[in-house]
Each structure stands twice: as structure tokens, then as C-alpha cells.
Structure 1
């Protein structure tokens, strides 16, 4: 259990939105830019920008936070590689956050929607998915992240609330018509998370002591129906 309030740097290169954010002394500084296929060029200027806003240097960062997957192979792997490099050079710890959890938290903070089923395209007629429900302003997973065929997505049993569809797979596979009580809004289907939305999840993990060394930063891929598979960078 950690008691000290950490200084966090969060980065996200997992979608078309390149973003980073700093948490320092209960303040958040963030920067982002929509830059498909230009994340390598864009991320470091954005990091420099938020460090300047916060009047910090990389040596002041305690923990680097990153989305670890599942999701885009290229984007997630890039984020992990940059996280490892920065953490090694600056002697930082790291915290990896599920990309599905990150997206759910981002939708809640941006649009105040809960509960949600996050479902993103895994290609080859498969989807990555999980269900989330808010508690004390944090979206909490209702099961483990999974990969499955689109027709096997399980509905949330919540008679008192609408359940919101989040992620690109809903529209691609026309999943909303196969579920009762699902609310489908275009802004949620197309929502791109920001690095600042990693911060509340990372703070919770930090307080639990769920921090790792730089060499332990790895992308997480789902293989098969429910099996996690980690691969070194």
C-alpha cells in the first residue's frame, strides 16, 4: 500500500489520438493531438509541452502510465516501447492499464455514461470486450477482458439502467440490434480516450501497490477465448 502522492506521466499512442498528461500535487496537465500514424513524431513534443505546463522535468516523474492492451498492435507496442525507454533512463516505475478499462473511464469522464459494454474490433471476425459500471467516479470491470466472436458478447443484467455501447465493433458487426436495452450513440461508438483519463485508474493501482519496474512494461494481447498472453517488447 502506497501513501505518498506520486507524480504521474500518462501517455497514450493506442488510437488515432496521441496524448499525454501529468498528475502532480492533485493537479492535471494534459495535451493531445489527433495525428494518425504520426505518434512517433508527435508524442515527445506533447510530453515537453505538459512538462513545461507543470514546471517539471522527466526526473521529477515517479511513475509512467500506459495502456497495455488489448487493442491496436502497433499503437500499443509503440506506447510500451516509449514507456520502457523513459522509465529506464529516468529511473521511473510503470503502471499498465487495460485499454478497455481506459476507454470505459474516458467515456464516463467525458459523457457521464454508465454502465457500458466496451467492444472494439480485434479483426478476423473477433472482438475485444468487457463490461464496466461506475462506483465512486471510477469505472470498474465486471469481468476479465476477453476476446470472442461478435455474437458471444454477454449483456449486463441491469434492469434499472440503460446500458451504453462503446467502441467501434458495435457498428461494424451491427451488435446493438442483437441486445435489448442497449443505447447506441455515435459519439460513444467513435470516442477516442485521452491519456488524462488513465490517471484516476493509475492512482487507484498505485495506492494498491500495483506498480512495476521498467522491464516489466509489456503489451498484453488476448489469445483464444479468455486467455491472456504477454509478449516481451
Structure 2
């Protein structure tokens, strides 16, 4: 059987990253570059392909960070992934940004129960709870966009949970009581394409890859509510 080859890329948050799995070998690039995603992502991809000694056309699939995250960042990631996939003739696999962060907490800290929270601006956070099953982070409930005060008023999670993401940095006081014991994992505060690879491999084996034109972003927030100036309601 040929080695499975999956490329992953993510630009949904302040981080810009790409990773490549060829069989059991993993190659990765990561950089925090809030305004330079369009400049950095394609050179990262090419560097990985060169390092592994393969071409785009040899890939089995391309995974991308489908969101939630920055509207612009998510669109960039989807667009770049679609362009590469069309050119290479390979399918796409969308991976949740929040799930990738939870998977990173497992890789870096051995976390088995993770709450991921991204600062969504405008007084809200993107939030998801994940449980480890067979080495993969699986969503517990639904991903949501919500005010941190609503999370703080919800039922407390029992036992030890790990927390990661910019949402916990921005609203630390409000979210500190979310679980009986909440242990920070700052190393996974932003998603990394490397942590999308095991999730993408599982999706590929499950037959969940889609044609490039069917790839869709996940914003969670359906519309942006602007605070209007007095007298302009």
C-alpha cells in the first residue's frame, strides 16, 4: 500500500501554519504572523514539499482550517486550499480550528479533556469542548459563539479540564470557574496545522474528503453586528 500523503494548512487565526504527513513522517512550519498570511502560506507549503521530496500532484488530500476564526483568515485558508486542490486534482478535508487546538493540547500536554476558546471580538468567544477518543479529540456538544458571561453562568464541568486559546487570555476572570479544575495549556493557544493531520487522516479513512468546490468555511457567527454611533440607529 502506498504511503498516505496529506498536506494541512491553516490561516484562521493570528497563526499561519502548514504541515505535511508522508506515511509516518511529519514536516511542519508555524509562525505567528497576523497580517502576513497571504505572503507566508504558499512559501511554507512549497518548503514542506521540497523537504519531503514530493509534488502537489502526489498528495492524497489537502486539509484546511475551516474556522471558526478571523473572517479574513478563514477565507484565505479556504481559498488557498481550493486553489491548490484544483491544481493538484485532489480532494479537501475541512478541520475545525477549535478541534486542532484541542488536539494540540493533547500532543503537547497529554490533555484528554479540553475546552478551546478563541476571542471572537465584539465581546464574544468561539467555544468548543473536546474529549479524547482513540487518540483523537472529539467534539462534546456543539461549537458555539457566545458571550463569556453566558459560559460562566452555565453548569460547571466536573473534574480536570485543560483550557487553551485566546478566549481564555481575554476573559480569564470570567472563564476561570468553567470547570472544577481548569489547567491552562498556553502552548496550544493558537492552532497548528500539524495537529490537523491526525484528524484529517481519520476523516480521509472515513471517506469524508470532498471535492474542492464543496469545501466550505465555518464562521459560527452568521452576521456581524456593528455598534452604531448615537443618532445613526
Shorter-chain TM-score bucket reads: 0.7 to 0.9
1:29 aligns with 2:27: yes
Q: Conserved in 2, the CA contact under 8 Å of 1:176 and 1:182?
A: no
Q: Conserved in 1, the CA contact under 8 Å of 2:105 and 2:185?
A: no
2:176 matched residue in structure 1: 177
Alpha carbons of structure 1 residues 140 and 180: separation in structure 2 relative to 1, 3 Å: closer
1:229 matched residue in structure 2: none
Structure 1 CA distance, aligned partners of 2:93 and 2:185? 31
2:230 matched residue in structure 1: none
Query: What's the CA shift for 1:176?
Result: 3.1
Query: Alignment length, in residue pairs?
Result: 219
Query: Which structure 1 residue ranges, 5 or more long, are not aligned?
Result: 225-233
1:142 matched residue in structure 2: 140
Structure 1 CA distance, aligned partners of 2:13 and 2:220? 18
| Range with bigger deviation, 144-153 or 73-82 | 144-153
Structure 2 CA distance, aligned partners of 1:206 and 1:5? 13
> 1:61-210, aligned counterparts within 5 Å?
61-153=59-151, 154=154, 157-159=157-159, 162-173=160-171, 174-185=173-184, 187=186, 191-210=189-208
Post-superposition Cα deviations, 1:82-131, rounded to whole Å, max 9, x if no partner, equal: 00111111111000011111111112112222311112122222221111
Alpha carbons of structure 1 residues 156 and 50: separation in structure 2 relative to 1, 3 Å: farther
Q: Conserved in 1, the CA contact under 8 Å of 2:65 and 2:74?
A: yes
Structure 1 CA distance, aligned partners of 2:134 and 2:122? 37
What is the TM-score of this pair, normalised by structure 1?
0.86
Query: Which structure 2 residue ranges, 5 or more long, are not aligned?
Result: 223-233
- Report the 3-state secondary structure (helix = DSSP H, G, I; strand = E; otherwise coil) of the residue aligned with 1:220: coil
C-alpha RMSD of matched pairs (Å): 2.0
Q: Conserved in 1, the CA contact under 8 Å of 2:156 and 2:178?
A: no
1:219 matched residue in structure 2: 217
